[in-house]
Each structure stands twice: as C-alpha cells, then as structure tokens.
Amino acid sequence: MIEAIIALTVLAAIFGGILGFAAIRYRVEGDPIADQVEQLLPQTQCGQCGHPGCRPYAEAIAKGEAINKCPPGGQETVEKLADLLGVEVPELDASAQEKEKPKSVAFIHEEACIGCTKCIQACPVDAIVGANKQMHTIITKECTGCELCVAPCPTDCIEMRPIAQTSRTWDWQLNKIDIAVIDVASESAKLEEADNA
Amino acid sequence: MRSWLDKIKQGQLWRYQGGVHPATKKDNIDCDKPETLTLAKQLVVPLQQHIGSPAKVCVEVGSTVKTGQALTESRFYQSPPVHAPCCGTVVAIEARPSAHPSGISELAVVIEPSSIQDQNAFMAPLLEAELTPELICERVHQAGISGMGGAGFPAALKISPNKPLDVLIINGAECEPYISSDDCLMRNYAEALLRGVSLLEKALSPKLVIVAVEDDKPEAIKALQAAAGDNIVVRAIPTKYPSGGEKQLVQVLTGRELKAGQLPIDQGILVHNVGTAYAVQRAVDHGEPLISRIVTLAGDHVGEPRNYWVAIGTPVSHLLEQQKLGTHHQAIMGGSMMGFMLPNLASPIVKTANCILVNNTPAQAQEQACIRCGECAQACPMGLLPQQLYWYAKGDDLEKSRSYKLMDCIECGACAYVCPSAIPLVQYYRQTKAKVRAEDLLAHEAERAKQRFDARKLRLEKEQAERKARQKQAAERRLQQAQGAGNDPVKAALQRMQSKQVEIKAIENEQGELVPDNSAAIAARKARKAQARAAKDAKTTNTAVAAALARAKAKREGDNEQSAPAKSDNPAVAAAIARAKAKRNSEQPTEAEGSKPATSANPAVAAAIARAKAKKAQQTDASESDDTAVKPSSSSSNPAVAAAIARAKAKKQAAEQPSANAKDAAVAAAVARAKAKKASQSEQPELERPENAESQTASSANPAVAAAIARAKAKKAQAELQAQDENAAGDAKPAKSSANPAVAAAIARAKAKKMAQEQLQQAQNEHSEDARPVASSDSPVESSDATSPPKRSAAVAKAIAAAKAKQAAKAASSMESDNDE
C-alpha cells in the first residue's frame, strides 16, 4: 500500500517536473490563433473591419470578435476563418456586403493632383510615389485597393479602377474553350458506314 | 553494370505509365517542302509570345521597318524581342486579339507590308571560329527565339550555361494528332536542323545529344539519320500520346522521372524542340531572327491539308483563305488534344502556334455522371487521380485539389479522351488550376502587402523614436547650458512667466455667474499705461516732439484762420510754423483752380491737400528746388538750419507752382485724394463722424473725397492736439531750452517726413487698388504718379529716406558752397 503511494507520488513528481520544464522551455510567444487568422486575411490593411489593419483584426478575432467583417476577403475568407475556428459559417456582414466589389486599384488623375502628400500619408503599404508639390502616382502593382487614399484627397483626384483582366489572370470558362476530342472508334465507324453506303 | 549514359546510348528505352493512342490523322497531310504563305494585308505581331515578360517597344507608329528588324528590345533573357516579319510600315501599336483561348486583346505591333520586300535587317552571321557559348546565347536571345514546341519558354534562358548537363534531348516526337510541322521540318531541313543541334551542343556541351522522333515518321528519321554525324543520336521512340511532353520524353529516353515541380535541368537533362534548333541555326548562320515558322493547316474542312511557312503575325483568317475557308469556320490553334478554340480568327500566328485545325464543331456529347471506372487514372501519364481531381474541382475544394497535385497536370487531355461519360475533365482542371493560381497570386500579394505594411510601421516607429531622441538631446543640451551658465534659460523664462502670472480667481458678478477675476490684470494694464505715459512725457523733452507739437499748434491756428505769427523764439518751432504756413498758403491756388472751391471752409482739409502737394512737388522738383533755392538769409550760423529754411522756402515755391501749372495741381490733388482714401479706410468712421459733419457740408465738387480727406486730417489734428493736451502747456518750453534748436528742427522734419512716407507707402500697399482707379479717373499723369513710387517695403522706404537725407546733405553743402561764393 505504502509502496504504491510512494511510487505514484514519485512518478507524479517526475512528470510534473517534466511538464513544468516543458511549459517554460517550449513556451509559445504570442497568440498562435491570431497568427493563423492573419494568414487568412487579405492584408489590404483597409480598416473596413473597424480595426487599424489586418493584424489587429486577427487579434480581435482570436479574442472572439465576429469573423464576417472583412469586405476585401469576401465570403471566401469568412468560410476559411469559420473552418479554422470551427464555428458556423456566418453570412458576410451586411455593411461589408455592400462594400464588396471587384478588386480595384487606386488611380490618380495626375492633372488634378496638387501634390499635397495627404494620400501618401494615408497609404498603408507605401504604394504612392510623390513629394510635396510634386505630382503623385500609384504603384499599381503594390496597391491593395484599400481606398484609404480616396477620402483624404482635397481635389478628389483619386479614383478606384477595377483591375483589367489579362490573358494571364483569365479565368478559364468551361463553355469558352473546346478541345476537340476525337472519338476515333466512332469516327472510323462513321467513315466505314459512309463507305459502305 | 552499364552506366546510365551507356544504357541510353545503346538505345535502351523506358516506359512511362499511362498514355493513349489516338488516331494520328497525319497520313494525308502533305509534308513536302512547305509553301511560303503570301503576306497578309496586315501583320499583327504580339509583344509577348513567350513565357516571361514582354520587352520594350523600340519602334513608333509610322516608322518603316525592314524584314527582321527588332520591334522590341530587352537585355533580359526572359524577355526575348519580337521582330518585323516583313518590310513595311508600323501602322499601329495597340491591343489586338491575342492567340489565347480568352481572346483578350493584348499589345501588338501592327505592320502593313510594303509592295517590295527586298530589304532585310538581319544580323551578321556568326563565324564558326568565334563561336562561344555566351555568343550563341546572346544571339539566340537577340533573334527572339522562344520554345517552338508549345510552351514558349525563352530559349536563351534555357541554354545559358549554369548547371552541368548530361543529356540534351531534341524533341521531334510530335505526338499530337494532325500536327506535322515538326515532321515537315525534319524531312526537309534535316541538315540545317542538325547544324542547329550542334550549335546547341556547342553552347551547352552535354555528354550526349539525342534527337527523339516517334516511329510513325519514318521519312523524318531517315532524313535525320542521313544527315546526323557520330555525336548525335537519332532515336525512334514508340508512338504514344503524350510522348512529346517534356517529362514523358525524358522518362522514355533516360528512365528518369521528374519530381513534382522539378525541371529536367535539375536532373542534368535539357529538352529543346526541333523547331528551336532550326531557328538557332538560322540565327547563328544567317543572322535571321525568328520571324516565320512552319504551321500545319489541317482538319475536316481543309481540302488539302499541308504545311506552310507562315510569317509570325499573320492572322489565322489569312491562312484559312489559302484553302478557301471562310471566316464562318471555327479554328483550333494547336492539336486536337491540347489546342484551344480561337474566339477570333483575327488572332495572329505566334511563335508557338504549330497547327491550325478546322474541324467540324464536335457534337457536344452529353456530359454524364462519373461512374468511377478508373479509366482516366489508367490513362494519366502523370500518375494522378483524375477522378478525385474532378470531384474536388467540381466542389471548388482548392486545398484538396492541391494536395492531389492538380498543379502537376500537364493538361494533355488523355483522361478526357478515355472518359466513357464524356466528361471534359481537362476543362475542369484548367478552371481549377486558374483558381489555384489566382489564390496563389492573392496570397503572394497579401504577403507583399503585409511586408510593406510592416516596413511602413517600422519606419514610422523609427521616425518617431528619432524625433523623441532629438527632443531628448535638445533637453539635455539645455540642461547642460543651464548648468554651464548657472541658470536654465527655459526655466528662467518659465519663472519669469510665473512671477508675472497672477492667480486667476473666480468671482461672482451681479448676475451670480462665476467670472474670472480680472481686477489684477486690469490693474496691471493700468500700471503699464501709466508707465507708457511717463515714458512719453520723458520723450517730449525731445525737441523733435516739440517741433511736431509746434507744427500741430500752427495747424490749429490755421484752422482758426489766424495769421499765427511765430511767437516762439525757438527757431525749430518757428521753422515748423513757417512750413505749416507755407502749406496753408498753398491752399489758395487749389481753391483758385476751382476743383474744390469750398475747401477753405475746412482748413484741416486744405492743410492736408497743401502738405500733400508740397511733398509731391518737393519730390518731383527736389533737385531743382535745391539748386535754385533762394539764397538763405544766412542769419543762422548753422548750415543745417539754413538748409531747412531753404527747403521750406522751396516748398513754398513749389506749392505756389501748382497754381500756375494746372497739370501739377491736378496731380497734387489726386495724391491728396489717394492719401485721403487711405486715411478713410484705415480709420474708424464712427470716431470721425461727429467731426466731419462740418466738412461734409463744405465739400461740394467731390463730397466723398473731401469728406475722407477731412476725416483723415481731423483725426490727425485731433491726435496731435490730444498729445499736446496730455503733455500740458509747459511741454513746449523744454524744447526752447534745447542746445541746438536748428538741428532739432531738422531732425523733427526728417522724422515727420519719414512718417509721412511710411503712411503713404502703407496706403499704397494696402489700398493701391483703391487709390489707383480714383487717380486714373481724374488724370492720366496722376495715375502714373500715384503708382510710380515703388515703395513696396520698409526697406525701400528706408532707402528713399536715406536718399532724401543725402539730398538734404547735398542741398546743405551746395548752400555752403553758395555761401562761400
């Protein structure tokens, strides 16, 4: 009886020690859920969710905020987030749905630009080139389409333009193309029939 | 055990899993020497006909081009240039329908061929002796050669020597039904082709070179074997679709299977198309860039299926016309297995287009449910599971599609070919692949955006930290300074402020509201006022002020229409009084002129006009008056005093001049008006109103102006009177006791003048727009005068004052010399 108790106590002490060591030694810094959520967010840094960037929203989601507030991500992102967090898939937030639109990039009407640099300060990804009293322009490749530069422009010279589709980004449509599958057997049969006739 | 290379050399062949045997349909295609297609009316050369990025356009709309002239240029091997396929004129550089299943318009150079095709801009052929791998690479790039087999990988990128190469495979398998362009090339241009192969060999120095041809092309094999030397192995491989695929061919010839995402070069193997080899030969030996290729025209509707040499950029419709095929037909670019329906027959032939098929529109077999027969898995040459991929493609499950290696699908179509349910599997895969690519692109963009966002955040934080550091540094510096000097300047200032600051107390007013207790502040203000007044009193001991006061007094006397004899025995005061009198006298001519007959009723106005006139006259006639100055009475021993008297006299003279000269009078009047206007604008009307009531009634010709003048003058007079009243009657006396009254008078005059000037200048600065129209409406001479003094700034005013002082000095000296004479 006593031996058993001693043995169990010793075992408990050993395992407790190992676990305690592991808890300190292999401690995970930060919030892994927030990291995973951030991976799924579109990183437009647009702030349409009400948070100043994607990372803060990811952290908020990790703490239990609604997952349907990301218009740039759309329903797909909501589904992915629901999948990750193991929750029911909610509809995209109504206000977010309104905002959902084709992916666009900002475009500066350069003749109207007065070089105030307000849009440059607003751009979260440094995708606007320009200097004080110099014309500004968008680096289209880097623009995330967050629209944060549109409002601060005093001359309203920034416009959101949908990205034109190119042959590289073209979505193959089933009905658009047609591979002629040659049915050799039936064709030769047809030919034979024709010959016979 | 034989080595791997030996096995290959001895002709051992391997097998790959899967593959199908469709009818080749090549028997009736004419593979004799291909006919060169006539030039179309317009050639559309797309800028991008390869995998990579388009090069930069180096021609302009309207420029004439020669055959083989480069239309684009780039240093980078991933952007091979395109060339003009003929002589002609560039008529447009615009988006044209591309040779792509989407038919989306892409940037292209449109060339209209000229009638005479006799000029070319080929590069100089490279000599055998000077051939180096780098030179060949560069030439291949310059010639714009990209893979001719279908994918269009830039050839120069592929042959730039970077990794050790064991086997170079020249792909002449051409496994797809109908296509026979490579067959045609091998049959008719075997020697040139093999020369190209040896050039590639030179560039890459592989251990073994194999030209692989499917065994259904015996003529091609025969021709090649006849032309091939010892170092090139011509190998016939069994006919099976898709042996022409790179990975399959590598496996058949070397037995090595490429892993997912692996390129042949990673295994020491490189595959080039026979067409590429031929193009290399043309580029090196003839300097001819890639401007045409052999294209097979075949299909059910083609009466004489055959091969053509087609210039790159020729519209497909032009090719169809050769066989009297109208545009109502639908054409397929590429073979029947992997080709695509062209949405637009205006699409051009590009470097990768090996075949144009004009078939019956296939009766769309009804797509049926997948029966899980597994035929497709048997047929797949990549060893994938097509039926699983089909499920995931239908369910849009990109993750699962990925894990089932959808991206390794070569889209050969073998699965669709064998499918008993007639499911167009490849289409599903293509669609899903596009989605996966789009997802990857988004992920990549998101990653990039995140990087940039983080970089920006970091930068902003850094900037803020720097700013803080600077502030801290400055604070430290101040502290050090304070310690060094014994007191901190900022702290001292703060203390001063605090000592000055009175505690703000709230008191209740009669309404019971809490209001700040300002009594202390009021007291402080009063104290300041008292201080200021004391200072003023002290100043009045100054003769300058005394002179001014005297002048004011004199003016007042003028107001009272008194003769005002100079009672003062102070010469300065006397001089001032004299000047004032002179001014007063000048009002007579003004009146005589009749412009303002009633001004005399308001002596202040008259005085102002007179002063203005006098000043103006003095300005215009300064030198003259100084020179012609009446010899001073010389009673004064001080020349300065004499000068002042002389000037006063001159002024008087000048004042009298206007009466004689109507023009000058008008000028003077306008100046006065401008001044008055300024005064009226700068001064508050409600203060003046009671006083100018009189003047308003008096002025008749120009009541508004007169009123303004009156107001201004009255105000001035009042101010001066006030000053005098405040300073009490005894104030004038200290002036009398001045040691050098003459000098004092001069100083006073100078000061007064300066003040007047500043006032004038201010008036011009602030109200020039108002003054100008008034002036110009009266007299053109005036307008130029009113605006001409460019007294824009205090600096200018100072300069003028200095000039005046100089003038005075000059007058004095001249007077002195006059005296001497």
The model's pLDDT over B23-46, given as tens digits with 9 standing for 90+, comes to: 888 888 888 888 898 999 999 999
Contact across the interface for B23 and A53, Cβ inside 8 Å: no
Residue B716 is predicted with a pLDDT of 61
Q: Which amino acid is at B461?
A: E
Please report which confidence band the pLDDT of residue B548 belongs to, taking 50, 70 and 90 as the band edges.
Answer: low
Number of domains into which chain B is organized: 1
Q: What is the pLDDT of residue B303?
A: 84
pLDDT above 70 (res A36): yes
Residue A11 scores a pLDDT above 90: yes
Task: In whole angstroms, give the CA distance from residue B260 to residue B249.
Answer: 16
SS3 B211: strand
Nearest CA distance, A95 vs chain B (angstrom) = 23
| Whole-number pLDDT of residue B570 | 53
**A181 close contact with B: CB closer than 8 A:** yes
User: B84 and B56 in contact (C-beta within 8 Å)?
Assistant: no
The predicted structure's pLDDT at residue B145: 92
pLDDT at B338: 87
Torsion over CA of B538, B541, B542 and B544, rounded to 10 degrees?
Answer: 120
Confirm if B169 and B267 have CB atoms less than 8 A apart: no
Whether the bond into B242 is cis, omega within 30 of 0: yes
pLDDT at position B619: 58
Q: Which residue has the higher pLDDT, A187 or B790?
A: A187
**Confidence category of residue B732, pLDDT binned at 50, 70, 90:** very low
Q: pLDDT digit string (tens) for B160-195?
A: 877 888 999 999 998 888 899 999 999 999 999 999
Is B719 a member of any domain? yes
Predicted pLDDT of residue A169: 73
Residue B62 pLDDT > 70, yes or no?
yes
pLDDT of residue B640: 52
Question: Would the CB atoms of A177 and B341 count as touching at under 8 Å?
Answer: yes
CA distance B629 to B733: 32
Yes or no: say if B192 and B278 are a contact pair by the CB < 8 Å rule: yes
Judged by DSSP in three states, B56 sits in strand
Site from A104, A140, A181 to mutate, B interface, most B CB atoms within 10 angstroms: A181
CATH 1.10.15.40 in chain A: give the residue spans: 33-99
Tell me whether residues B427 and A177 touch, CB distance under 8 A.
yes
Tell me if B453 and A53 make a contact (CB, 8 A cut-off).
yes
**What span, in angstroms and rounded, lies between the C-alpha atoms of B366 and B373?**
18
- Quick one: DSSP state of residue B489? H
What residue type is B407 in one-letter code? M
- How far is Cα B217 from Cα B238, in angstroms, rounded to an integer? 11
Beta bridge partners of B292: B311
Q: What is the mean pLDDT of chain B?
A: 75
The pLDDT > 90 percentage for chain B reads: 31
Instruction: Give the DSSP letter string of B228-269.
Output: --SSEEEEEE---BTTTSHHHHHHHHH-PPPPTT--GGGGTE
CA dist B136 and B247 (Å) reads: 26
The pLDDT of residue B645 is 55
What is the maximum alpha-carbon separation in chain A?
A: 103
pLDDT at A44 over 80: yes
Specify if B63 maps to a domain. no
Residue B590: domain span:
540-820
Q: What's the confidence (pLDDT) of residue A90?
A: 85
Would the CB atoms of A126 and B452 count as touching at under 8 Å? yes
Q: Looking at residues B439-443, what average pLDDT do you find?
A: 88
pLDDT of residue B760: 64
Size of interface A-B (CB pairs under 8 A): 111
Is A125 in Cβ contact with B452 (below 8 Å)? yes
CB distance B714 to B688 below 8 Å: yes
**Cβ of A180 under 8 Å from any chain B Cβ?**
yes
Please tell me if residue A172 touches chain B, with a CB cutoff of 8 Å.
yes
> CATH 3.30.70.20 region(s) of chain A?
104-162
* Neighbouring-strand partners of residue B95: B107
- With H, G, I as helix, E, B as strand and everything else as coil, classify residue A17: helix
- Name, in order, each residue with C-beta under 8 angstroms of B266's C-beta and a sequence gap of 6 or more: B163, B258
Question: Is B736 a domain residue?
Answer: yes
Please indicate if any CB of chain B lies within 8 Å of the CB of A177. yes
H or E element: which one contains B109?
strand B105-113
B575: pLDDT strictly greater than 90 = no
Which of B 386-415 lie inside 8 A of A, CB atoms? 413
Residue B798 lies in a domain: yes
Q: Which of A124, A142, A184 lies closest to B22 in CB terms?
A: A184
pLDDT for A3 equals 95
Of A168 and B16, the one with more pLDDT: B16
C-alpha A68/C-alpha A82 separation (Å) is 9
**Would the CB atoms of B434 and A170 count as touching at under 8 Å?**
yes
Between B571 and B74, residue with greater pLDDT: B74
Examine residue B628 and state whether it is found in any structural domain, yes or no: yes
Contact A194/B at CB under 8 A: no
Render pLDDT for A68-90 as a digit per residue (tens, 0 to 9). 888 888 888 888 899 888 888 88
Check residue B595 and give its pLDDT. 41
Give per-residue pLDDT as tens, B194-208.
999 999 998 988 999
| B50 domain-assigned | no
Q: Does A173 touch chain B (CB under 8 A)?
A: yes
Contact residues, chain B, for A170 at CB < 8 Å: 100-102, 104, 434
CATH of domain A33-99: 1.10.15.40
Q: What is the pLDDT of residue B184?
A: 93
Interface test with A, best of B49, B341, B450, B454 (most A CBs within 10 A): B450
CATH number of A104-162: 3.30.70.20
The 10s digit of each residue's pLDDT in B288-318 is 999 999 999 998 888 888 999 999 999 999 9
Establish if B403 belongs to a structural domain: no
Closest CA to A175 of B340, B435, B433: B340
Helices B741-778 and B571-593 cross at an angle (nearest 10°) of: 20
Q: Which of B574, B583, B588 is nearest to B612 (CA)?
A: B583
Residue A139's pLDDT band, with cuts at 50, 70 and 90, is very high
Place of tokens 């329906």: B341
- pLDDT tens digits for range A85-119: 888 888 877 666 666 677 888 999 989 999 999 99
Q: Is the pLDDT of residue B71 over 90?
A: yes
Q: Compute the distance between CA of residue B269 and CA of residue B263 in angstroms, rounded to an integer.
A: 9
Indicate the pLDDT class of residue B214, thresholds 50, 70 and 90: very high
Per-residue confidence band for B148, with pLDDT thresholds at 50, 70 and 90? confident
- Looking at per-residue pLDDT, the higher value among A18 and B743 belongs to A18
Q: Report which residue type is found at B671.
A: V
What whole-number distance in Å separates Cα of residue B782 and Cα of residue B774?
10
B106 has pLDDT over 80: yes
Pair of tokens at residue B545:
């002020």
Chain B, window 73-112: residues with a beta carbon less than 8 angstroms from a chain A beta carbon: 98, 100-102, 104, 106
Per-residue pLDDT tens over the stretch B654-707: 555 544 444 455 555 555 565 655 555 554 444 444 444 444 443 344 445 555
List, for residues B358-393, the tens digit of each pLDDT value.
Answer: 887 666 668 889 999 999 999 999 999 999 999 999
Kindly identify which residue of chain A lies nearest to residue B99, measuring between CA atoms. A167
Using the Cβ of A26 and the Cβ atoms of chain B, whether some distance falls under 8 Å is answered with: no
Reported confidence tier of residue B744, pLDDT bands at 50, 70, 90: low
3-state secondary structure at position B146:
strand
Q: How many CA atoms lie within 13 A of B200 on its CB side?
A: 36
**Whole-number CA gyration radius for chain A:** 29
Q: Residue B125: CB partners within 8 Å, gap ≥ 6? A: B284, B285, B286, B287
Contacts for B156-162: CB closer than 8 Å, 24+ residues apart: B156/B77, B156/B80, B157/B52, B157/B77, B157/B78, B158/B265, B158/B270, B158/B272, B159/B133, B159/B200, B159/B203, B159/B204, B159/B270, B159/B272, B160/B77, B161/B133, B161/B137, B161/B203, B161/B204, B161/B205
Name the DSSP class of B83. Answer: B
